Amino acid sequence: MDRRQFLRRSSAGVAGLAMLAGCTGAGEGDNGSGANGSGTNGSGNGTTEAGADSTATTGSASSGGTLRVATYSSFTGEDTAGNWLKSAFETEQSGTTVEFLTPENGVNQYVQRAKQGAPIDADIYLGLNTAELVRARKKLDKPLFQSVGEDLDGADGLKKPLRIDPKKRAVPYDTGYISLVYNENEVEEPKTFDSLLESRYEGDLITENAQQSDPGRAFLLWSIIAKGEENYLDYWKQLVGNGVTVLSDWEPAYQAYSDGEAPMVVSYSTDQVYYHGPDVDMAKHQLGFLNDQGYANPETMALFESANNPQLGRTFMEFVLTETAQSKIAVKNVQFPAVKGVTPSKEFDKYAKEPPETVTHSYDELAGSVESWVEEWSRLVASE
Amino acid sequence: MNVRRWGERLAVPTAFVLTVAILAVVFYYPVLSVLREAVVRAGSLTAAPLVDVLGDPFYTGVAHHLFTAPLSIPAGVLDWIRAGFPSVEFGLFGFTAFQAFLSTLASVVVGLPGAYLLARFEFRGRRTLRSLTILPFVLPSIMVAVGFLAMFGQNGLLNDILGALGLGQVNLLFTLEIIVLAHAFYNAPLVTRLVTTAWESVDARRVETARALGAGPFRAFRDIVVPQLLPALLTAALLTFVFTFLSFPIVLALGGLRLATVEVWLYARVQDLELAEAATLGTIETVLSLALTYLYLRYEARQTTTGGGTTLPRRALAVGWKTLRDPVRIGLAVYGVGVLVLFVGPLVSMIVESVTGPNGLTGAYYEFLLNQQATTAAGTTKPLPAIANSLAFGVGTLALAVPMGIVVSVMVTRGGTGSRLAETLMSAPLAVSGVVVGLGLLQTLVFGTTIAGYRVTAGGALAIVVAHAVAAYPFVTRNVTPALAGIDSQLVDSARSLGASRFRTLLDVELPLVWTAVLAGGAFAFAISIGEFDTTVLLAEGVESYTMPVALERYIGNRSLGPSLGPATAMGTVLLLVTAASFLVIERLGGRWEP
């Protein structure tokens, strides 16, 4: 796909990096991508790469080399969990480079690449949720990710409800809990899913489209746990009847909530981490754990079947599960640690609220169902 | 000398072949790679996916009987009549077409008076105002959503004003009305711009002749001016219908899933990687859009318009105290208030959001932009490169799309039978869902293909410019074709008979006559490139090819100031300012360069 990859593959680890550094020299520190601009083919149009299908690994496997981590774009950049992980891991494993890739369409990019036999340019995918893991498996004949087995250091400390993959491909590294955020000046705390159907909450709830939004899908899945697979559509029919609004994604939904369009919104239980202090009206940032629950939406990482250096990948995953990394990720990503007994920071502990009871779906519970659940739900909402 | 003559003779055909080749690689091949899944299953042709979708009442409502049980229809219609004509549902496609129709109507109603004002009146800042009408075109939908929320929301500015005037409240959010308004916000400027251009090219001498022959002002308007405006108006209406038929993010951000369009489902199917159903929805959308385009082009070809000559003189807008007694001018003043509410309101609201924090006025979001620019951290999206890239891609697109558009116009204007069909197929970049184009580019050019043992992929700056030009050139064609068709063919013939090559004639005779239209098309091309998002992120290699809308999108996900849209609105304001400045420059320079 690009010259960088070609360079790396055709020369042994460190030497390749030196060449790369030579190429980038004049760049503005833009993540070492100067190869496109300064190459002979300035446009980068029609660059070729030899031996795309070979999995070339050179040198020793355990130390040195480049680890290519595919993730979502807000995981990297100034003062993010991604950049902390990169520098901390590179310091610990000298000679190692972590390179982030942020494909716009997320893991689908790799599912489609695998389907078409196009090269996979990453070793680890970071930021995978359970439904995506289901999709990646369902759409391909061969597995996209490999199992990391039983012996990953630190994996035994993972919180129970977050261990969503019995086949041990997806390893959780943090989690959010979906809950309601409501304005107690305008409504009383909604305690249960059933209470949302009461007329006093008519037109009061904004949620997100489960077809395209993580919290939206989590809220739908949570309602399926609460009301059962048989009854959830009937429940939603009544909820739509009570004037629920389903917007595209979290941003417009929360913006509409902040502007006072409705007094309740489906959001995260870390809400107060962002909103606290003397100037903030805390009445607008109350958490509603319906049925005393919160739906966990763990973010997981997984090693590609085609990873160049699986050993280095495993070392990285173990590093992510260490206590230091867990608390750093939690604070910078504003998500809860996936490992038990980690205290990210005093402030985080004070304002990030864990639900009394955690619920979520495992891989096996979603496989074969999640698509039709979402489809039937969206048809119902669109037709009402 | 001989070489030069040959060069000139071959110039137009060569450019046309190149244009078709570019389209084939960057558009037809990627798009067909997606849409083929609608009709090909396991290597053989099938109608099953199409029948599945068309026969599904969710998608087509009562029309599904057409595809599942056509023989039952007469009886069904009889039952319906006996039941006293109860209301009929036409499913997702029916609703999508319905909202597109309303949106088109609203865009025409809002856009047309603007064209009248800009084409027929003289006032301070007219040219600037005309340049600024492009602004809504480049705004990402999330910014429009923010602006609309702040303007039309329950606690929005409009309700504050209405409340202060004692006029009560309006609740527009999450309704069909707000979607139609948002679509008018995007598309009424299209109507205004296209019709203004046409109005300005009405030959004043013909109107004078008509008046001298005894026609009243209304008669002269109806017989001379209206036939010139109608093609432009219908073009704008057609484009608006097609765009709003394919509309998607703004619908869900302001209206919600209850008001979903077909494109929402198409996107969801692509997300689920259910590509056969996605392809089927995309195919139906495309066929409908192209059929409309074809019908329109056939109509347009039958119109004979003649442009050029002297422009109609403009009247002064303000004429002292008399201004307040003239019903036309009072009407325009009322219209001005409407424009303030619908266009200036959301834009200003967005700018206000960019300086408003949770606790009042703040410069934090602009400080954020400066910090992003100053940092050396890997993977940071900086504003200045985004601006530079946007402008570079915009200029590149302009340079490529204008010749492409002109060449296609020349070929279809002078072409014989079949050229309507050819132009229809070549306007397809307007009529195909952006989701389909994106998916197609991804699985062809971005993933690449193996040729003789080498993996060939395309990406980077050049690929982005080419993709932008493909999306933009139909705007040039749509502006230039009617203008070219309006040129007296005797002019061209006499130039040719005096020995001028086709290329010389185009350059020295035709283009100067249709320069206003070329400029108008070029402005759209630039705007399309500035506002483009989907193909830019797909074709960007590495992280350095981001543009202003891409930077804006990344700032939405940036949590360093908490989950705030502030940084994005600050970037949106920068986007607005840069675009406004570019357009003032482009249209001033373009006007001066008139050959």
Express each pLDDT in B126-142 by its tens digit: 999 999 999 998 899 98
Q: How far apart are CA B337 and CA A126, in angstroms?
A: 51
CA-nearest residue of chain A to B381? A77
The reply to whether A72 touches chain B by the CB within 8 Å rule is yes
| Domains of chain B and any CATH numbers | 11-44+374-595 (1.10.3720.10), 92-353 (1.10.3720.10)
Give the pLDDT of residue A34: 32
CA-nearest residue of chain A to B358? A280
Q: How far is A115 from chain B (nearest CA, A)?
A: 10
Which one is predicted more confidently, A66 or B378? A66
CA distances from A197 to A184, A215, A236, A288, B274 (A): 18, 20, 9, 15, 34
Give the pLDDT of residue A63: 55
The reply to whether B537 touches chain A by the CB within 8 Å rule is yes
Cβ contact B150–A259 (<8 Å)? yes
Q: What is the CA B498 to chain-centroid distance, rounded?
A: 41
Q: How far apart are CA B371 and CA B593, in angstroms?
A: 40
Give the pLDDT of residue B593: 63
Per-residue tokens: B470: 């493909």
Express each pLDDT in A134-162 by its tens digit: 999 999 999 999 999 888 999 999 999 99
Pick from B301, B413, B381, B345: nearest CA to B149: B345
Cβ contact B460–A44 (<8 Å)? yes
Express each pLDDT in B396-443 by its tens digit: 999 999 999 999 999 888 766 678 888 899 999 999 999 999 999 999
Give the pLDDT of residue B437: 94
Contacts of the segment A355-358: beta carbons below 8 A, 24+ positions apart: A355/A177, A355/A179, A355/A269, A355/A289, A355/A292, A355/A293, A355/A294, A356/A289, A356/A292, A356/A293, A357/A292, A357/A293, A357/A294, A358/A159, A358/A161, A358/A177, A358/A293, A358/A294, A358/A295, A358/A296
Pairing of strands B454-456, B449-451: antiparallel
Cβ contact A77–B558 (<8 Å)? yes
Q: How far apart are CA A313 and CA A128, in angstroms?
A: 16
Please name the member of B258, B385, B563 whose beta carbon is closest to the beta carbon of A254: B563
Q: Which helix (H) or strand (E) holds B454?
A: strand B454-456
The reply to whether B249 touches chain A by the CB within 8 Å rule is yes
- Label residue B500 left, alpha or beta by phi (over 0 means left) and psi (-120 to 50 means alpha): beta
Which one is predicted more confidently, B96 or B171? B96
- Label residue A145 left, alpha or beta by phi (over 0 means left) and psi (-120 to 50 means alpha): beta
Pick from B354, B517, B343, B485: nearest CA to B419: B485
Q: How far apart are CA A20 and CA A4, in angstroms?
A: 7
Please name the member of B258, B268, B560 whose beta carbon is closest to the beta carbon of A211: B268
Beta-carbon contacts of A40 under 8 Å, excluding residues fewer than 6 positions away, are none
- Strand locations in chain A (E): 48-50, 65-70, 96-101, 124-128, 145-146, 171-182, 205-208, 245-247, 264-268, 286-288, 293-304, 336-337, 357-359
Cβ contact A211–B459 (<8 Å)? no
Give the pLDDT of residue A23: 34
ipTM: 0.91
In the predicted model, is pLDDT for residue A377 greater than 90? yes
Cβ contact B257–A72 (<8 Å)? no
Placement of tokens 């070793």 in the chain: A123
Is B42 exposed, middle or buried, given 0-12, 13-18 or 19+ CB atoms closer than 10 A? exposed
Average pLDDT over residues A106-115: 95
Express each pLDDT in A58-78 by its tens digit: 333 445 799 999 999 889 988
Q: Report the residue of A206, A248, A376 to disrupt the B interface, i.e. the one with the largest count of B CBs within 10 Å.
A: A248
Helix (H, G, I), strand (E, B) or coil at A163: coil
Pick from B244, B582, B588, B301: nearest CA to B421: B301
Per-residue tokens: B499: 């020995």
Average pLDDT over residues B336-348: 95
Contacts of A105 in chain B (CB under 8 A): 442
The reply to whether B386 touches chain A by the CB within 8 Å rule is no
The reply to whether A143 touches chain B by the CB within 8 Å rule is no
Cβ contact A36–B460 (<8 Å)? yes
Q: Are A242 and A197 in contact (CB under 8 A)?
A: yes
SS (HEC) of A315-377: HHHHHHCCHHHHHHHHHHHCCEECECCCCCCHHHHHHCCCCCEEECCCHHHHCCCHHHHHHHH
Give the pLDDT of residue B6: 82
In the predicted model, is pLDDT for residue A28 greater than 60? no
Pick from B372, B367, B398: nearest CA to B385: B372
Q: Are B120 and B312 in contact (CB under 8 A)?
A: yes
Give the pLDDT of residue B236: 95
Express each pLDDT in A260-290 by its tens digit: 999 999 999 999 999 998 888 999 999 999 9
Cβ contact B273–A384 (<8 Å)? no
Question: Which sign, positive or negative, has the C-alpha torsion A55, A59, A60, A63?
Answer: negative
Q: How far is A171 from chain B (nearest CA, A)?
A: 22
Which one is predicted more confidently, B526 or A33? B526
Q: How far is A104 from chain B (nearest CA, A)?
A: 7
User: A234-253 burial, b for 16+ CB within 10 Å, e for fewer?
Assistant: ebbeebbebebbbbbbbbbb
Q: Are B305 and B112 in contact (CB under 8 A)?
A: no
CA-nearest residue of chain A to B274? A139
CATH architecture of the domain covering A63-175+298-349? 3-Layer(aba) Sandwich (3.40)
User: What percentage of residues in chain B have a pLDDT greater than 70?
Assistant: 97
Cβ contact B455–A1 (<8 Å)? yes
Q: How far apart are CA A100 and CA A126, in angstroms?
A: 10
Q: How far is A91 from chain B (nearest CA, A)?
A: 16
Helix (H, G, I), strand (E, B) or coil at A133: helix
In the predicted model, is pLDDT for residue B337 greater than 80? yes
- DSSP category for residue B560: B
Beta-carbon contacts of A348 under 8 Å, excluding residues fewer than 6 positions away, are A273, A330, A331
Helix (H, G, I), strand (E, B) or coil at B156: coil
Round the CA-based radius of gyration of chain B to a whole number and report it.
25
Which one is predicted more confidently, B451 or B158? B158
Query: Which CATH number among 3.40.50.410, 3.90.1150.10, 1.20.1090.10, 3.40.190.10 corresponds to the domain A176-296+353-383?
Result: 3.40.190.10
How high does pLDDT run on average in chain B?
90
Express each pLDDT in B455-492 by its tens digit: 888 888 999 999 999 999 999 999 898 888 888 888 88
Domain boundaries, chain A: 1-40, 63-175+298-349, 176-296+353-383
Q: Are B296 and B253 in contact (CB under 8 A)?
A: no
Pick from A252, A135, A73, A26: nearest CA to B559: A73
In the predicted model, is pLDDT for residue B203 greater than 50? yes
Please name the member of B264, B375, B447 whose beta carbon is closest to the beta carbon of A118: B447
Pick from A141, A147, A178: nearest CA to A287: A178
Q: Are B170 and B158 in contact (CB under 8 A)?
A: yes
Please name the member of B153, B458, B542 whose beta carbon is closest to the beta carbon of A33: B542
Placement of tokens 């073009």 in the chain: B235
Q: What is the CA angle B520-B221-B198, rounded to 5?
A: 5
Q: How far apart are CA B52 and CA B64, in angstroms?
A: 10
Give the pLDDT of residue B551: 93
